[in-house]
Chain A
Amino acid sequence: MGEREGYYRMDALIKDAKKGDHLAFAMLFRENYPFLVKYLMKITMNLDTAEEIAQETMAKCVQKIHLYNGQSKFTTWLVSIATNTYIDQCRKQKREKNWQGQEEVYRKLKWHLESRNEEWNDCLEALGNLSEEVRIPIILKHYYGYSYEEIGNWMNISPGTVKSRVHNGIKLVRRELKLGEETESHLPGQRTTK
């Protein structure tokens, strides 16, 4: 199936879904479910949480489909709702003080990877150690290629803040991966030269 054909099919499904056709909704969701769960796995680092938030995201989509204007891809719209839902959940958990340690959260993902004979390496560990406020922009920017403006809109922060979070996050990852440690150790702590 060509890309254009797929696009028109998706467009027709969205139109029918807006009219309240539940089969069209179901087809849309089934097609995008693996993409959605995999995105959520990357930002939550936990399969159970990813599936739970994917369900919540789809429920929100049903309620808000009239707000989707078709200017961006449907997957982009899903990513924006999923991101918001996850951030809301994190805030709620922090408020209720039942925040699990991040290590506990990603243990299952670690197990999944290892069961596929894939190595759980320092890189994912470093990403898992970052707070979600930093991890999400890094993934959205450097894995999915969204712009700072888009990410800022979804996370309700300015593009400048997104940029600095991504920059500082990459620095932290670099430090944990010990990339360029030798060169950095020879450098003075602060550069003041203009």
Chain B
Amino acid sequence: MVKKQKVIYLDNEQQNKQDFDAIHKLQEELTKIDEFSIYTPDLQWFEQMVIQEQQKAKKKWRKELSFFMIIAFVILSGMIITIYQLPVLFMLLQIITTIFIAVYTSVRPLKKANHYE
């Protein structure tokens, strides 16, 4: 038993040494890539790139905001129309939504609990 353990210990040590050699060699070779001289564009190029990206981000934000506003407007106007024109439908929608939310929130934790069992 003792003999076996010793063999494995030596074997592991040898493997570790080989791993260490491989890692050391890899590190040496990767250092060569770090010694490359990389062409770095001038400050203006970077500034231009940043300005372009900031403009793109602004455009995207404006687009998302207007999309959100349109959706909100459609939903709100729909609600107001139903309140004044079809109050019964409005009440029905309110009841259905409340039931749906109650069922959905109680079923989800149950599903999760079953999943972990």
Residues in B neighbouring A1, C-beta threshold 8 A = none
Contact of A30 among B46, B51, B54 (CB under 8 A): B46
**B117 touches A (CB below 8 Å):** no
The dominant DSSP class at the B interface is: helix
Chain B residue nearest to A60 in the complex (CB): B53
Residues in B neighbouring A193, C-beta threshold 8 A = 4, 8
What is the CB-to-nearest-CB distance from A58 to chain B, in angstroms, rounded to a whole number?
7
Contact check, A180 vs B14: say whether CB atoms are below 8 A apart.
yes
Contact check, A121 vs B29: say whether CB atoms are below 8 A apart.
yes
Interface size on A, residues (CB 8 A): 43
Binds A, one of B18-26, B67-75, B86-94: B18-26
Q: Which residue among B14, B26, B57 has the maximum number of chain A CB atoms within 10 Å of its CB?
A: B26
Chain A residue nearest to B28 in the complex (CB): A123
**A82 touches B (CB below 8 Å):** no
B contact residues vs A (CB 8 Å cutoff): 4, 8, 11, 14-15, 18-19, 21-23, 25-30, 32-34, 36, 38, 40-44, 46-47, 49-51, 53-54, 57
